[in-house]
Amino acid sequence: SAAAVGATASSATASSANLDFVRSLGADEVIDYRAQRFEDVVRNVDVVFDTVGGETLERSWSVLKPGGRLVTVAASGEQTTDERIRAAYFIVEPSRTQLAEIARLIDGGALRPVVGAVFPLAEARQAYQHKPVHGKVVLRVVDGGSAM
C-alpha cells in the first residue's frame, strides 16, 4: 500500500466492477474512470504511477504539483524524444536490497501481494496466456519435493 512507503493519501482509478477491490488494496480515494476523469478530481499530487500510458499518461501531467514526479511503466521511454516521458520511464531491474525490503513489508503485513493463479513451472506457457481477473500469475518451482 502507499502507506507502507510513507504516503498519507492515495488515489487510484478503476472500473466500477473493481472499486471495492482497489479500496481493499489501501487506496484512500478510488475514481471510476468510466464515470469521471481523474484529472477533474485529483490535484497537486507528489507522485503519479502510470501503468496505462497513451492518453492517460498525457492527462496525468496536469495533476502533479510543481516539482511532482510521474513514473510510468507503460510508455516506451527508450523510443521517445519527449524528455518528460524519457525522464518518467521506469524499467524494473533486479535488486537484492529492494527485494529484501519488499519481502520484509510482505512478512510484516504492510504489503499484500494479490495472486490470481498458481501454475507449476511445467505449465509456464499456459501461465503466460492466463489473464486473471485480479492479481499476478505465479510459477511454482519445485526442487526435490520442496517449494522454492
Q: DSSP 3-state assignment of 84?
A: helix
DSSP assignment of 3-22, as one string?
GGGT-S--EEEE-GGGHHHH
Of 21-25, 63-67, 72-76, 98-102, least confident by mean pLDDT is 72-76
Give the chain's radius of gyration (CA, Å).
Answer: 18
Contact 135, 115 (CB under 8 A): yes
Report the distance separating Cα 97 and Cα 113, nearest Å: 18
Element (H, E) at 117: strand 115-120
pLDDT tens-place string over residues 55-96: 898 899 999 998 888 888 876 655 556 666 666 666 677 889
Q: Write down the pTM of the prediction.
A: 0.70
Report the distance separating Cα 134 and Cα 22, nearest Å: 10
E strand segments, the chain = 11-14, 29-32, 45-50, 64-72, 115-120, 136-140, 142-143, 146-147
Grid cell digits, residue 110: 504492510
pLDDT at residue 1, rounded to an integer: 55
The pLDDT of residue 120 is above 60: yes
How far is the CA of 105 from the CAs of 5, 93, 116, 144, in angstroms?
10, 19, 20, 29
Q: DSSP 3-state assignment of 55?
A: helix
Residue 43, number of CB atoms within 10 A of its CB: 10
